Amino acid sequence: MFQPEIESMERGRLEALQLERLNALLARVYANVPTYRAKFDEAGLSPSVASLDELADFPFTVKDDLRAAYPYGMFAVPLHDIVRVHSSSGTTGQITVVGYTRGDIERWSDMMARTLACAGATADDVVQVAYGYGLFTGGLGAHYGAERLGCTTIPISGGNTKRQVQVMKDFGTTVLACTPSYALLMGETALEMGIDPHDLPLKAGVFGAEPWSENMRLQIEELLGLKAIDIYGLSEVLGPGVASECSCQCGLHVNEDHFIIEIVDPATLRPVPDGEQGEVVFTTLTKEGIPVVRYRTRDISRIIPGRCACGRTFRRMERVTGRTDDMLIIRGVNVFPSQIEQVLTGIPGVAPHYQVVLSKRGSMDHVAVHVEVGPDVAFDEIKTLERLRNRVASEIASALAVNLDVKLVEPKSIQRSEGKAKRVLDLRNEGSAES
Ligand code: DLL
């Protein structure tokens, strides 16, 4: 552990620390952020609590609050004290800006150092940071954590995959940090270059920023010959480093000295008991630049009850299966792309590359899953293909209780990603029906 005295703190002490920090946070945002002052006043709440449970009475913060305050309206300190800004990916609508004080960067570096230590990294490791550097939090977040841990840090950013592989080989990379979909592309590219990834000194990967399934983990571990650790975070709350798996690979420890996690029922918005699924909500206890109270992430997860064998006392959240806004409702059934991925990656002959394509057939929405066949399947053997297609369709139907139109496509025909993979292609407003 990077900070064992904190990461394995006794729960009673941890909760006392959270309460103290929560009260300081509420007072801070009430005094310095007009959005919060207005929200608390409207709800008739004074900015203090006697117990952690009382947090559930406070109003939520949503992305639209940040948009309305664009760019700096929700910062709790003057710009003079902000040393860095990042922004969220903003695939839909206006981007949002988040700001960090020097203290925020310090604490973020510690949290990312914890994350890397969770994956088994030490100062003897060579960490290749292939998350994008820039407004995205992935690159610089992982970079500062790797340096904080004392690792030899390669700030290569995303892209130029052949060079990534060459650097991995020549510089002796032992820990790879990138999205899981990019890790897969790196493995494939290495093989194309005649380099067996198992001959590389890689031992661990810290992969996150997008949903990925357990089967995808197994495939990446097999392809690259490393231990794949799931890391989670979001810009509005911090960036990477909010939560991370340890080497037990049994849920992601939330950095609870810095964040309070709640899981709420998406319909009633009331907290659910540990173990039940719902939307993840975070309150930042120590952020100075842009603290948030009860931020609704839209991510779906649950708290895994019980203690972890690793000795950390921070509670664990289950891997995020998807976001409420990525959830497809197909003939009344809720489906996340990552559930489709879990099925596909368990079928031999199918490559772990897929896309869910939404289109219009007349006035009806149509959902098709495009799946690449593996390199060993003869793409011109109609009977083989038909058998494979039927198997994919029937396994999806039995796992998800919905029949989907499955289309097998040629190897390497689905666009590869150097960052977050685009799993859903929405052609419904493009006027052309998808064949
Ligand atoms: O993706 C921060 C990050 C960078 C996390 C590098 C991990 C590694 P945003 O661009 O703001 O920040 O996107 C945040 O990505 O709300 C989730 O929906 C999704 N996400 C992030 N990590 C995971 C993960 C970064 N491990 C949004 N599993 C979040 C599933 C994830 N989804």
Predicted pLDDT at 7: 98
Does the pLDDT of residue 267 top 60, yes or no? Answer: yes
Higher local confidence (pLDDT), 91 or 33: 33
Domains (range + CATH), the chain: 1-325 (3.40.50.12780), 328-426 (3.30.300.30)
Q: What's the whole-number average pLDDT of the chain?
A: 95
For residue 13, what are its two tokens? 């002490």
Strands (E), 7-108: 82-87, 97-101
Calculate how far, in angstroms, residue 229's C-alpha sits from the geometric centre of ligand 1: 14
H-helix or E-strand spanning residue 366: strand 364-373
Predicted pLDDT at 41: 98
Rounded to whole angstroms, the Cα distance separating 131 from 224 reads 17
Q: Which of 88, 299, 341 to mutate to test the pocket of ligand 1 (most atoms within 8 A of CB)?
A: 299
The protein residue whose alpha carbon is closest to atom 20 in ligand 1 is 209
Name the pLDDT band for 296 (thresholds 50, 70, 90).
very high
320 C-beta closer than 6 A to ligand 1: yes
Does the pLDDT of residue 433 top 60, yes or no? Answer: no
Please identify, by atom number, the ligand 1 atom nearest to the C-alpha of residue 319.
28
Does the pLDDT of residue 64 top 50, yes or no? Answer: yes
Average pLDDT of the residues in 44-61: 98
- Helical pair 214-224 and 180-192, crossing angle rounded to 10 deg: 30
Predicted pLDDT at 133: 97
Dihedral sign from CA coordinates of 94, 209, 261, 86 = negative
Summarize pLDDT for 71-121 with one digit per residue, the tens: 999 999 999 999 999 998 666 678 899 999 999 999 999 999 999 999 999
Average pLDDT of the residues in 129-154: 98
44-48, 219-223, 360-364: which range is least confident on average?
360-364
Predicted pLDDT at 177: 98
Rounded to whole angstroms, the Cα distance separating 285 from 25 reads 6
Name the pLDDT band for 435 (thresholds 50, 70, 90).
very low
Average pLDDT of the residues in 376-380: 86
Summarize pLDDT for 156-173 with one digit per residue, the tens: 999 999 999 999 999 999
Average pLDDT of the residues in 186-206: 98
337 C-beta closer than 6 A to ligand 1: no
Q: Which of 131, 220, 252, 320 to mutate to test the pocket of ligand 1 (most atoms within 8 A of CB)?
A: 320
